[in-house]
Amino acid sequence: MDEILQLLSEDARLTCKQIAERIGRPEAEVQEIVAKLEKEKIIRRYKTVIDWERAGVEHVFGFIEVRCAPQRGVGFDAVAERIIEFPEVHSLYLMSGAYDFLVVVQGKTMREIAYFVAEKLAPLDHVVGTATHFVLRPYKVDGDIMVDRDEVKRLPVTP
């Protein structure tokens, strides 16, 4: 199962037939395992890694530190559940350290993100402070290096 997950995490377009050949199991067995992983939401969905900058699509990412006062009985969950509903929110993490939440926000412009923070995030009940950082250039995203490297050359035939 781990090997199937790893293969799909690297290339979501692999067919069960290709996976079966690579791991040396029958195709039907792989189909069954993948179906089960999907049903159990271990595989949540299949995505594509896109270099938006190269595609010419303007995207701005903001990393926003949020400090808030936890609520009796529900801790941070109640605030988190409100934040995740905003479509601008790309990722949300509860953090250890100097602040409580790290909110990754995706917008078309910095202004859009600034507006979101000022109008939506900061005024939420129990949020006591925010600090916004904008991404200037992504170098590596979710394990994928986003900058071009020279091709590594090898001799064409070696013993």
Partner 1 sequence: MAQTRPRVSRLVDALPPSGIRRFFELVEKMPEAISLGIGEPDFVTPWRVREAGIYSLERGHTHYTPNRGIRPLLEELARYLERRFGVSYDPETELMITVGGSEAIDIALRAVLQPGDGVLIPQPCFVSYLPCAVLAGGHAIAVRTSVEHDFQVQVEDLAQACDESSRVLLISYPSNPTGATMPRGNMEALIRFAAERDLLLISDEVYAELTYDGAHVSAAAVPGGRERTVLVGGFSKAWAMTGWRLGFAAGPADIIEAMVKVHSYALMCSPTTAQEAAIEALRACDDDVAQMRREYNQRRRVIVSRLNAMGLTCFEPKGAFYAFPSIANTGFTSEEFAQRLLEEEKVAVVPGTAFGECGEGFVRCSYATSMALIEEAMARMASFVARVAG
Q: Which residues bind partner 1 (CB under 8 A)?
A: 3, 6-7, 21-24, 152, 154-159
Q: Count the neighbouring beta carbons within 10 Å of the beta carbon of residue 68.
A: 20
Quickly list H helices, 13-133.
Answer: 16-23, 27-39, 52-55, 77-83, 110-116
We find the least distance from the C-beta atom of residue 44 to partner 1, in angstroms, to be 24
Question: What tokens does 19 get?
Answer: 């996976």
Contact by Cβ (8 Å): 117, 123: no
Q: How far is the CB of 49 from partner 1 (least distance, A)?
A: 16
Q: Quick check: 130 and 67 in contact, CB under 8 A?
A: yes
Taking the least distance from each CB to partner 1, the nearer of 55 and 152 is 152
Give residue 109's region: left, alpha or beta (phi > 0; psi -120 to 50).
Answer: beta
Nearest residue (CB) to partner 1, 96 versus 158? 158
18 vs 89, beta carbon nearer partner 1: 18
CB 137, CB 121: distance < 8 Å? no
Shortest separation between residue 22's beta carbon and partner 1, angstroms: 4
Q: How far is the CB of 159 from partner 1 (least distance, A)?
A: 4
Residue 42 or 145 having the CB closest to partner 1: 145
